């Protein structure tokens, strides 16, 4: 972290890149860097936008604008007009740090509205990505930082913190040490496994170790075996009393009849309470995160990849059409010969 902060203080450094495998803690690290930079008064404004695997320019613009207290007008405004508004605001803001989290490919900063870094001397960019090539494409030059996994000692310390006192028993500790090693020093894997096994007896710990060693992950770009197997374990260890459809978004649970009491003698309030209960279970298993805004939740990008892979591996074949946040104004062209399991067109402005 200190090296990153030192680089941010240098006038000649304009773009920095953090790269590492999924689940290694890039987002957590850059959030801590932002807090430290703010405490050190390095910038007048620090803006964070999550880009994701299938980026939407409009969504990125909205995230940055909201941090600046800027309204970019209604949905009828073009991306170019919105970019111009954001550009003007950023030029007037002074020293600005723009963090673009979870970048998967080159992003043209001009289309977003980020000023030329040569002209706006006070503006700096930090990106996080799974691929070093993306750092090169974004012109990070020598200002790239590889986010390494935790050492065995660091990993065990975090594992004990998450799993609690049960790992200190003479019967569990030897197995727990081996389980922690199977997590490969990846914070996400360590946290989800430790939370899944918290307060479990030695038999469950031994079974978990066998599962982790036997896991055979599918080919998911940027996901290691350790992360995949840990998420599979956490998914499998959800209480059997709860019939949770992970693959469906909880916000549509009532509409998809996941909560059968709604409309069948039960009340909407009861259905909402059931949904809240499911969300709490998933949060406890570290499969859901608190969102940035009140009453919102987030799914870690690695967890999302795992869920999609898990769905695809279980028959019958599942076919999804997902075009959320694509700025669509009309119904997309689709292959009518395909029997889609689900279609998601949320966060668009469909007129028909």
**3-state class of 271 per DSSP?**
helix
Which stretch of DSSP H or E encloses residue 188? helix 187-197
pLDDT at 113: 94
Q: For 134-158, what is the mean pLDDT?
A: 93
Q: pLDDT tens for residues 285-331?
A: 666 777 766 667 777 666 666 666 666 565 555 566 666 666 677 77
Structure-token pair, residue 49? 């936008």
The three-state secondary structure class of 6 is helix
10-19, 232-241, 279-288: least confident range: 232-241
Domain boundaries for CATH 3.40.50.300 within the chain: 2-146
CATH number listed for the domain at residues 2-146: 3.40.50.300
Of 305, 2, 286, give the one whose Cα is nearest residue 130. 305
The pair of structure tokens assigned to 70 is 């800027």
- Please tell me which residue, 286 or 135, carries the higher pLDDT value: 135
Show the 3-state SS of 285-350. Answer: CCCCEECCCCCCEECCHHHHHHHHHHHHCCCCCCCEEECCCCCCCCCCCCCCCCCCCEEECCCCCC
Q: What is the mean pLDDT of residues 1-8?
A: 92
pLDDT at 231 over 90: no
E-strand ranges in the chain read 15-19, 45-52, 96-103, 123-129, 144-146, 289-290, 297-298, 320-322, 342-344
**Which of 178, 187, 188 lies closest to 209 in space, CA to CA?**
178
Could you tell me where in the chain the CATH 1.10.8 domains are found? 152-236
CATH class of the 152-236 domain in this structure? mainly alpha
How far apart, in Å, are the Cα atoms of 51 and each of 36, 129, 261, 281?
Answer: 22, 10, 38, 27
Q: Is the pLDDT of residue 263 over 60?
A: no
pTM for the whole structure: 0.68
Give residue 30's pLDDT.
95
């Amino acid at each position: 972290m200190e090296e990153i902060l030192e680089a941010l203080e240098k006038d000649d450094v304009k773009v920095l890149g953090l790269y590492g495998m999924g689940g290694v803690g890039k987002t957590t690290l850059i959030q801590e860097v932002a807090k430290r930079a703010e405490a050190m008064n390095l910038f007048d404004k620090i803006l964070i936008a999550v880009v994701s695997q299938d980026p939407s320019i409009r969504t990125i613009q909205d995230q940055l604008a909201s941090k600046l207290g800027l309204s970019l007008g209604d949905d009828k405004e073009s991306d170019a007009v919105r970019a111009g508004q954001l550009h003007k605001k950023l030029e007037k803001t002074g020293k600005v740090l723009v963090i673009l989290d979870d970048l998967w490919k080159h992003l043209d900063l001009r289309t977003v509205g980020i000023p030329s870094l040569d002209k706006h001397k006070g503006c700096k960019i930090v990106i996080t990505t799974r691929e070093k090539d993306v750092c090169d494409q974004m012109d990070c030059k020598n200002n790239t930082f590889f986010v390494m996994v935790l050492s065995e000692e660091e990993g065990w310390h975090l594992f004990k913190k998450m799993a609690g006192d049960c790992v200190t028993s003479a019967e569990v500790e030897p197995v727990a040490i081996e389980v922690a090693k199977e997590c490969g020093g990846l914070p996400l894997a360590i946290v989800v496994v430790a939370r899944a096994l918290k307060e479990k007896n030695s038999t469950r710990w031994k079974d978990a170790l066998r599962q982790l060693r036997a896991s055979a992950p599918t080919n998911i770009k940027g996901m290691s075996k350790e992360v995949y197997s840990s998420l599979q374990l956490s998914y499998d260890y959800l209480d059997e009393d709860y019939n949770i459809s992970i693959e469906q978004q909880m916000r549509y649970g009532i509409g998809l009849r996941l909560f059968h009491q709604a409309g069948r003698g039960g009340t909407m309030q009861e259905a909402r309470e059931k949904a809240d209960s499911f969300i709490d279970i998933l949060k406890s298993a570290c499969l859901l995160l608190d969102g940035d805004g009140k009453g919102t939740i987030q799914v870690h990008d690695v967890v999302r990849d795992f869920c999609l892979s898990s769905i695809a591996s279980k028959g019958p074949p599942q076919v999804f059409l997902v075009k959320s946040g694509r700025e669509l104004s009309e119904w997309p062209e689709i292959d009518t010969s395909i029997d889609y399991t689900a279609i998601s067109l949320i966060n668009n402005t469909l007129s028909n």
